[in-house]
Amino acid sequence: MEKKQFQAESKRLLEMMVHSIYSQKEIFLRELISNASDAIDKIYYKALTDENISFNQEDYFIKIVPNKEARTLTIQDTGIGMTKEELEDNLGVIAKSGSLAFKKEIDMQDGQEIIGQFGVGFYSSFMVADKVTVYTRSLYSDEGFKWESDGVEGYTIESYDKPEVGTEIVIQLKENADEENYDEFLDDYQLQNLIKKYSDFIRYPIKMDLTEKHPQEDNEEEMVEVTEEKTINSMVPIWRKNKQELNDEDYEGFYQEKRFGFDKPLSHLHISVDGMVRFQSILYIPEQLPFNYYSQDFEKGLELYSNGVLIMDKCADLLPDHFSFIRGIVDSEDLSLNISREILQQDRQVKLIAKNIEKKIKNHLQSMLKNDREKYETFYKTFGRQIKYGVYADFGANKDSLKDLLLFHSSSENKLVSLKEYVERMPEEQEHIYYATGESHERIEKLPQTELVKDKGYEILYFTDEVDEFAIRMLINYDDKDFKNVSSGDLDLEDEETKQEAEKQKEEHKDLLTEMKEILGDKVKDVRLSTRLKSHPVCLSAEGEVSIEMEKVLRQMPDNQNIEATKVLEINNKHDIFNALVHAHESDKEKVKLYTNILYNQALLIEGLPIEDPVALTNDMCKVMV
């Protein structure tokens, strides 16, 4: 038996490995399985060029064997094995990768399948092990060897009689300590989970002997234990399969298997890109909102694989916020990984992939809107708000690419319409795109401000989502048509004659209007005769940047309590109440005050704004009655 010390640098590296490179202990299994897969791949690549080597797929597998009594976990493979020199080189020197050398030797192209490259993965086993023993025999040697190390001082090597080519790694698990439990690596169920999580798409079968209880054949009451060797991994990732070979059920199955949601996916996309950066991806639009979607703990992101091996559970950088509801996976052979293979070295590739994905999702939604309107509307009812946030967010950076995905309820169509549809059927003389805001369609229908616009025969978009108006303000216009809130002060829809008549009336009732304004003080900027009201007595309109609906939204946010719309009280001078006002103005100042206050409060109510002093209002109303 030969005893060897690790080199000084190796010792330090080993310390570091065990304590800081990996964020999770369970990663060790992924690393050892990756090595086993690499070892089998090497025979496969050799066989391609050496006719003396045969490669029968059935002979190659990886086996995981836990032993609870001995507290060992064995990872066995039928790969290429190691000679004594290779053992010393590859396992005796940390950060030396036999696999990297192999790739260079056979001059593999970029995008190779072999996973190893850093020469540190093996040592991750010391995160969970007191001792690691490697039994191996190389394809090129008649002799087998046993390598053993406690991971601290050094290792031993001795001859070992191993009949078959391949490698067996036995991990002596550490004892459980206060917070650390190593027993999970002996548990069949946990091991299966880990294999599924990290190594599901290793191309060779990963097997385990699993014991199940079955009722006995002749006596159903009695249970017998049956042990069977089972393959745990699915091997060929669904995203590597040909789209033509897959049907909706396959995609749904994968969605469920991955636990992307408890619902069914509404739609999926399968992408394979062979450009500046190569990647495959399967993306899903869920049917339902993830249960924690609007809570703090929701995390967006896609699963990221490098060559079929899971690197990240949720890579957030792959998805823009406005598509944060998308679930799915990305697999790329072009990622540069850091040494722990957990984080990306640089995000250039991820940025390229993310950009590509964003475009693909957008196009997918656009074609859904065009070809399957019903489905799109289902999508939009659930996730439309996110698209609107997308238009608004980042100072409108994405507004142009998202604007054609927007839908709003239309007054004339009584269904959701796109901005394009709205603009296409605008009458020639109509200059603006009109919208009205409110809590519900029913409430907006009753808004006095919509009367004139509707009378003109113009379509109005109903905004019931808080974000709607913010998004539209960010857009400013669509197809060169400005958006106009029907409640804004300057609707500018009246013909010349009406305008002149209005001017005349204004002059005539100047005193009354000034008096009303004085009664209301700072609550309104002005009191005016309305040109838009038809049957309603009063309404509020807003001047300037902040609309009344926006004021409502902003007030709910902690920092914006003081933001208010500049309000104007509009009075309908064709309504009977106006005559009453004029009459009161001539005879009874108290009545003017009473009426003005009631009318102002009515306008607030119609807008859905809070009444400042409900008691005063009810008292005023009683005064009118008696």
Smallest gap from Cβ 167 to ligand ADP, in A, equals 4
* Residue 356 contacts ligand ADP per CB under 6 A: no
Tell me the closest approach of the beta carbon of residue 202 to Mg ion, in angstroms: 12
Q: Which residues pair with 586 in a beta bridge?
A: none
Please say which residue, 98 or 328, places its beta carbon nearer to Mg ion: 98
Minimum CB separation from Mg ion for residue 194, in Å? Answer: 16
Q: Which residue among 13, 18, 29, 36 contacts ligand ADP (CB under 6 A)?
A: 36
Side chain identity at residue 618, one-letter code: T
CB nearer to Mg ion: give 116 or 328: 116
Q: Does residue 573 contact residue 509 with C-beta atoms inside 8 Å?
A: yes
Shortest separation between residue 101's beta carbon and Mg ion, angstroms: 13
Q: Which of residues 48-107 bind ligand ADP (CB under 6 A)?
A: 77, 79-82, 90-91, 97-100
CA–CA dist 305, 333 (Å, integer): 8
Element (H, E) at 214: strand 206-215
Per CB under 6 A, 39 contacts ligand ADP: yes
- 277 contacts which partner out of ligand ADP, Mg ion, none, CB within 5 to 8 A by kind? none
Of 12-20, 30-38, 403-411, 601-609: span binding ligand ADP (CB under 6 A): 30-38
Nearest residue to 325 (alpha-carbon basis) of 411, 252, 390, 228:
390
- CA dist., res. 93 & res. 229, Å (int): 35
Of positions 10, 14, 17, 31, contacts ligand ADP by CB under 6 A: 31
If the CB atoms of residues 66 and 81 are measured against ligand ADP, the closer one turns out to be 81
* # of chain residues touching ligand ADP (CB under 6 A): 23
Contacts with Mg ion, 85-124, as mask; x by CB under 5 A? -------------------------------x----x---
Q: Which residue is nearest to Mg ion (CB)?
A: 121
Among 10, 35, 37, 280, binds Mg ion (CB under 5 A): 35
For the record, the structure tokens of 416 come out as 């959701």
What does 137-153 look like in DSSP terms, one character per residue? E-TT-S-EEEEEE-SSS
Q: What is the DSSP letter of 131?
A: E
Residue with tokens 């805001």: 437
16 vs 9: CA distance, rounded Å: 11
Contact set for ligand ADP, span 111-140 (CB under 6 A): 116-122
Contacts of 72 (CB under 8 A, 6+ apart): 66, 170, 171, 172, 173
Q: In the window 165-184, what residues touch ligand ADP (CB under 6 A)?
A: 167
Question: In terms of Cα–Cα distance, which of 157, 378, 354 is closest to 265?
Answer: 378
Report the C-alpha gap between 281 and 271 in whole angstroms.
Answer: 5
- 562 sits in which H/E element: none
> Quick one: 81 or 448, whose CB is closer to ligand ADP?
81
The HSE-up count of residue 121 (CA atoms within 13 Å, CB side) is: 22
Residue 188 in contact with residue 213, Cβ under 8 Å? no
Q: Which residues contact 62 (CB under 8 A, 6 or more apart)?
A: 33, 36, 37, 40, 75, 76, 77, 78, 202, 204, 205, 206, 207
Query: Out of Mg ion, ligand ADP, none, which partner does residue 82 contact, by CB within 5 to 8 A per kind?
Result: ligand ADP
Task: Give the footprint of Mg ion on residues 152-171 (CB under 5 A).
Answer: none
Minimum CB distance to ligand ADP, residue 60 (Å):
12
- The piece of 34-42, 185-193, 387-395, 500-508 that touches Mg ion (CB under 5 A) is 34-42
- With contact defined as beta carbons under 8 Å apart, do 472 and 435 qualify? yes
- Residues in Cβ contact with 134 at an 8 Å cutoff, skipping those fewer than 6 apart: 82, 87, 91, 146, 147, 148, 167, 168, 169, 170
Nearer to Mg ion, 33 or 475 (CB): 33
98 binds, among Mg ion, ligand ADP, none (CB under 5 to 8 A by kind): ligand ADP
Chain positions contacting Mg ion, by CB under 5 A: 35, 116, 121
Chain positions contacting ligand ADP, by CB under 6 A: 31, 35-36, 39, 77, 79-82, 90-91, 97-100, 116-122, 167
